Structure 1
Amino acid sequence: MTTYPTDDQDFQNASAGLVGWMENCVIQSDTDSSVVVWDNQSYLSFINDDATCPPEINPSLFRQSQLCVKQGLFEVVKDKIYQVRGLDTSNMTFVETVNSNGVVVIDPLCSVETAKQAIGLYQGYRRDKNILAMIYTHSHADHFGGGSAVVEASGGTQDDIHAGTLGHVFAPADFLDHAVSENVYAGNAMGRRSVYMYGDSLEKNAQGQVGSGLGMATSTGAISLIPPTVSINTTNEVHTVDGLEIVFQMTPGTEAPSEMNFHFPQYNALCMAENATHNLHNIQTLRGALVRDARVWSRYSTTGPHLIPKETMKSSISSPCNAISTHLHNETLRLLNDGQTGIEIAEDFKLPPNLEQTWNAKGYYGSVSHNVKAIYNRYMGWFDGNPAHLWEHPPVPIAQRYVACMGGIENVIKMAKDNYICVEQPDWRFAATLLSHAVFSDQTNADAKTELSKVFTHLGYGAENATWRNFYLCGAKEVVGAVQPNMNVMDAASMMALSVEQLLDTMGIRINGPNAFDTAPFQIDMMLADVPMTDASSARSGWRVNFSNAAMTDHEIAHAEAANAGIAFTVWASHRQLVSLVLRGAHADFSDVKTDGDAGVWSTLCGLLEPLDAGFAIVTPEPNPTPPSSES
């Protein structure tokens, strides 16, 4: 730690412009007041400017959490731009317009509940401001999930977002496609791993969750998805809201597949979305997502600041995030072309000394290790070229074979302990590997699980990276205890934002293939009166669902008033009615829609859909049995 700067400039920057804050920063669920969806208050007893770093927290990570824990309304540009921080993992920004008492809202946080509080905090100090527009910087849920709160605050509803003062919802091109693919298609698996990444199941204390590196945590309230009304397609595209000029820069394939920066020339202010952060970001997030392009990301980070005059650039814009991304990318490519694998490159990767010793290039959220592996994976895929790794056994059978080769599970546990007890240089990493094999070979062995929990805890306490700490400590908790299911669930109303194709995809990806092998082929037509054809040739459209060979496919067809020949079942409905049918599945009520044919095929299709398991096991082969309640 002595090699790092000792000045307090970061603390001055983090506190600058503070206008006010939320007293007792604890936010409850809208549907159940006993459920807390955001709690910033619990951190303050052990993380504050005057606190001493506890021994269970890496000192560098503790310093980062001291910065991230600050919450409140901050003035960014005097009387023009305000930002609410510390009410979610993301920030909500309010840019006031030129001609009247209007405001543009940027990134409405992750949850409806936290977004409501952020809006209330802003409006408590900047009264009588009408919300005229909303901007999504990119397609990650923590930047659009609270959108319905913005609509509500403007006087609109999810059925009619324009019923109040809200005029436009801006988003980068392909926003909805990527928001759906990331947050709906693979959302259950990503959500479960997010429990680990953000430490959702951990207590907020020195032995538990102390932040996420980029912020303190993600809120666990209701997630909404308000569809954009204006898609930004080109760099230097200009839009004006009540006299406020906004100049956009497209940055696809950077921190998100769909992302953009934008400039407010009248205020000399630039929003770099999540493309520039005050620490090392992820090339691939540990919760799971598409691998990002470090080369493209670094180039957009270079060109973005050129949207504004040089004299207005702030230190956060000229941070070393561009240099470090470029170095990670180029050095990884050099080494992989020299024959090294991702693991080998990550093990001994060297940063330039000036970056290594810079606070705002530290790996609190992303890390050099997992970023380098992600870059390797983007170019080379999962296979490292060694045929021994081409057809490996899954975790349980490989664990059983390793344990047998090492003389049984008791011997493996002893070997693991020998790697971290009474040795000069304990190898906690190898101990974790050995004990994980022991647990996967025999999940009922309490000693193996207890020892693995100890090892994970030690690795977590030493981690400088907050997400690594959270993964280790969640693993330590779950290997001996119960699973914490994913709590972030997109609300049913948000399904209205999905296209017909996306909506049907949510069914197709849940079909249990083996259970459907013997199901006879059939077709279902959906005739939609309020959904235009993709080519805009008609205000009405039809969609045909084809089921055969255990797979569901669909394609657009012409709308018809009568059933097409050979189709087992036809439904005439609105988009909203179709959403309701899909959500209700086998319990769908067709009494309010016109149908023709055998509704039993719909029941057959829905009977093949497998419910999503929000609490699948990660550090054990299966979730540990839940102990009986003391009241039973």
Structure 2
Amino acid sequence: MTDTAASAKLRSIDHLFARDWVQLSERVHVAVGYGVSTFSFVVGDTGVVAVDSGSVPALSTEAIAELRNHTDLPIVGLVYTHGHPDHTGGAPAFLDENPDIEIWGNVRFGDEARRFARNGASIAQVRGKRQAGFLLPPEKRINNGIAPAIYPKAGALAGGPGGGPDRRTFPTKTFDANGVVELGGVTLEVTSNPGETQDQIMTWFAQDRVVFAGDNMYRSWPNLYAIRGTQYRDVRDWCESVDRMRELKAEHLVLGHTTPFSGTAEVDEAIDTYSRAMWHVYNATIEGMNAGKTPDELAHEVTLPRDLADNPMLGEYYGNVSWSVRAIFTGVLGWFDGNPASMNPLHPADRGGRIAELAGGPDVLFERAQAAMEDGEAQWAAELCDMVIALDHRTAEAKNLKADAIDELAYNLVTATGRNYLHTSAQELREAAATP
């Protein structure tokens, strides 16, 4: 692992998802580091209700075993904050504990996975493995930005709603806008709260003033756009959902990943920080769009204000501000950036050929790419290599050079998903270059 400032910064947050059992209140226990996601147990008079199931059945079983050090009451209910498999994949452990467990979810549960399946977009699974770093050797992974770098096993972190094809793990009870879960002497208010997904919910345990945010909040800049590919995560909806959590004046805030917050002042500050930052990026992007600026311009120009830029809640460990800006532009206006020259651009091979002609030939382009790498301009080197590859000229050499360039970009990027994607793509390029 190349030691860079970005690598050190990413390593500095490992403690946020180290294994820990946090008792927030007399009734609420939070399992941190038992897999990829954070999940919780609310203890009632006659039973326990879990909020999310974790990601890996074996690790969720270990969390349930720890729960038994605090209560012998049966687990009678499971509430999913949303349908991503890292929050639902541990459900078989809960079914092993109680085959008759009542499972709750939003009526839109699993909507994202169903849309990918309906459209036949299997490329999202390929890109998802790149983003997660599942194809990388351990030395190329530090963490996942909001979670430890866990490798998937059969049935874990894979598949659609419920963590896989086992329909037993799907919700048996659903609600639309609002609902109330009453089981085992536990009362939870559940509310549709779209953000990272359309099926996202906010769960409120009023008795101990605990709000469960799901993946609408964690200790990182939010993943307003996932580079594995996703339909538009409506950022304005997400901002409003965060603000709804603030209205509760909670005593405790449980995040979908990383450690929870406790104390009304600390909770309010965390939510306020998230809200102000998200609204700033959203509003600044809309303002730039209205001024006629393109996504390429805005991705470089829209940044967090000085008083928020260094806030530990907003480090770009999982999400990335510039990707968020591009997502907002595309989500609101679509792919066309407004520049007439962008309406029907040249094919990359045609553009590469014309640029090569201006430069003095494809060999000159390749030499410039080599020079750019030597000068520490990895991004420019990668872009020049793309032109050489598009021309099918010195292709193996260009692929290897591009691999070096994007590896260098990865080492200097804090965002774990981006690092994983870049390193995996470099690995794939070298494999392609070695294939006759």
Give TM-score, length-normalised by structure 1. Answer: 0.61
CA–CA distance in 1 between the matches of 2:277 and 2:182? 35
CA offsets 1:491-540 (integer angstroms, 9 cap, x no match): xxxxxxxxxxxxxxxxxxxxxxxxxxxxxxxxxxxxxxxxxxxxxxxxxx
Amino acid at match of 2:300: E
CA–CA distance in 2 between the matches of 1:440 and 1:201? 26
Aligned-partner SS, 1:58: helix
**Structure-2 change in CA distance of 1:115 and 1:625 (3 Å):** farther
Contact kept in structure 2, 1:247 and 1:263, CA below 8 Å: yes
Match of 2:22 in 1: 74
Contact kept in structure 2, 1:278 and 1:316, CA below 8 Å: no
Ranked by relative contact order (alpha carbons within 8 Å, sequence separation 6 or more), the top structure is 2
Match of 1:318 in 2: 269
CA offsets 1:234-269 (integer angstroms, 9 cap, x no match): 34x3231111111122213x1111111111122221
**Structure-2 change in CA distance of 1:435 and 1:178 (3 Å):** closer
Match of 1:461 in 2: 411
Between 389-398 and 327-336, the greater mean CA deviation after superposition: 389-398
Aligned-partner SS, 1:132: strand
**Structure-2 change in CA distance of 1:148 and 1:441 (3 Å):** farther
**Structure-2 change in CA distance of 1:444 and 1:114 (3 Å):** farther
Match of 2:322 in 1: 369
One of 388, 392, 395 as aligned partner of 1:438:
388
Match of 2:158 in 1: none
Amino acid at match of 1:193: R
Between 172-181 and 287-296, the greater mean CA deviation after superposition: 172-181
Correspondence 1:348 to 2:301: yes
Amino acid at match of 2:51: I
**Structure-2 change in CA distance of 1:442 and 1:56 (3 Å):** farther
Amino acid at match of 1:129: L
**Structure-2 change in CA distance of 1:184 and 1:203 (3 Å):** farther
Over the aligned positions, Cα root-mean-square deviation in angstroms equals 2.7
Amino acid at match of 2:40: T
Structure 1 position 394, deviation (Å): 4.9
Give 1:414-425 correspondences, 5 Å limit: 414-421=367-374, 423=375
**Structure-2 change in CA distance of 1:391 and 1:405 (3 Å):** same
Structure 1 position 384, deviation (Å): 0.9
Structure 1 position 449, deviation (Å): 1.8
Structure 1 position 281, deviation (Å): 0.8
Which structure 2 segments of 5+ residues have no match? 156-162, 253-262
Correspondence 1:248 to 2:190: yes
Which structure 1 segments of 5+ residues have no match? 1-45, 47-52, 157-161, 482-622, 628-632
Aligned-partner SS, 1:364: coil
Match of 1:134 in 2: 78
Structure 1 position 467, deviation (Å): 1.4
Correspondence 1:382 to 2:335: yes
Amino acid at match of 2:10: L
Amino acid at match of 2:186: L
Aligned-partner SS, 2:54: coil
Correspondence 1:281 to 2:234: no
Contact kept in structure 1, 2:211 and 2:250, CA below 8 Å: no
Quick one: percent identity of the two aligned structures? 23
Correspondence 1:391 to 2:332: no
CA–CA distance in 2 between the matches of 1:95 and 1:394? 57
Match of 2:259 in 1: none
Contact kept in structure 2, 1:75 and 1:82, CA below 8 Å: yes
Structure 1 position 139, deviation (Å): 2.4
CA–CA distance in 1 between the matches of 2:356 and 2:42? 60
Aligned-partner SS, 2:78: strand
One of 380, 400, 404 as aligned partner of 1:450:
400
Aligned-partner SS, 1:384: coil
Aligned-partner SS, 1:333: helix
Amino acid at match of 1:248: V
Aligned-partner SS, 2:49: strand
One of 85, 88, 93 as aligned partner of 2:32:
85
CA–CA distance in 2 between the matches of 1:280 and 1:459? 20
Correspondence 1:95 to 2:37: no
CA–CA distance in 2 between the matches of 1:338 and 1:433? 28
Aligned-partner SS, 2:149: coil
Correspondence 1:304 to 2:245: yes
One of 114, 133, 153 as aligned partner of 2:97:
153
Give 1:176-575 correspondences, 5 Å limit: 176-182=110-116, 185=119, 188-205=122-139, 208-217=140-149, 219-221=151-153, 222=155, 223-224=163-164, 225=167, 226-235=169-178, 237-252=179-194, 254-308=195-249, 313=264, 315-316=266-267, 318-319=269-270, 320-395=273-348, 398-399=351-352, 402-403=355-356, 406-421=359-374, 423=375, 426-442=376-392, 445-481=395-431
Contact kept in structure 2, 1:453 and 1:476, CA below 8 Å: yes
Aligned-partner SS, 1:214: coil
CA–CA distance in 2 between the matches of 1:118 and 1:408? 62
Aligned-partner SS, 2:203: strand
CA offsets 1:179-233 (integer angstroms, 9 cap, x no match): 422467556322211122121122222xx11112121235423133522122122
**Structure-2 change in CA distance of 1:315 and 1:438 (3 Å):** farther
**Structure-2 change in CA distance of 1:469 and 1:443 (3 Å):** farther
CA–CA distance in 1 between the matches of 2:42 and 2:317? 29
**Structure-2 change in CA distance of 1:401 and 1:479 (3 Å):** farther
Structure 1 position 437, deviation (Å): 2.5
**Structure-2 change in CA distance of 1:145 and 1:401 (3 Å):** farther
**Structure-2 change in CA distance of 1:117 and 1:179 (3 Å):** farther
Higher Cα Rg: structure 1 or 2? 1
Match of 1:171 in 2: 105
Match of 1:144 in 2: 88
One of 50, 53, 61 as aligned partner of 2:10:
61
Structure 1 position 175, deviation (Å): 1.2
Structure 1 position 363, deviation (Å): 1.2
Match of 2:256 in 1: none
CA–CA distance in 2 between the matches of 1:150 and 1:186? 31
CA–CA distance in 2 between the matches of 1:245 and 1:441? 64
**Structure-2 change in CA distance of 1:337 and 1:402 (3 Å):** same
Contact kept in structure 1, 2:55 and 2:90, CA below 8 Å: yes
Query: More helix by proportion, 1 or 2?
Result: 2
**Structure-2 change in CA distance of 1:261 and 1:210 (3 Å):** same
One of 52, 71, 80 as aligned partner of 1:107:
52
Contact kept in structure 1, 2:210 and 2:250, CA below 8 Å: no
One of 107, 110, 119 as aligned partner of 2:64:
119
Contact kept in structure 2, 1:106 and 1:135, CA below 8 Å: yes
Structure 1 position 62, deviation (Å): 2.2
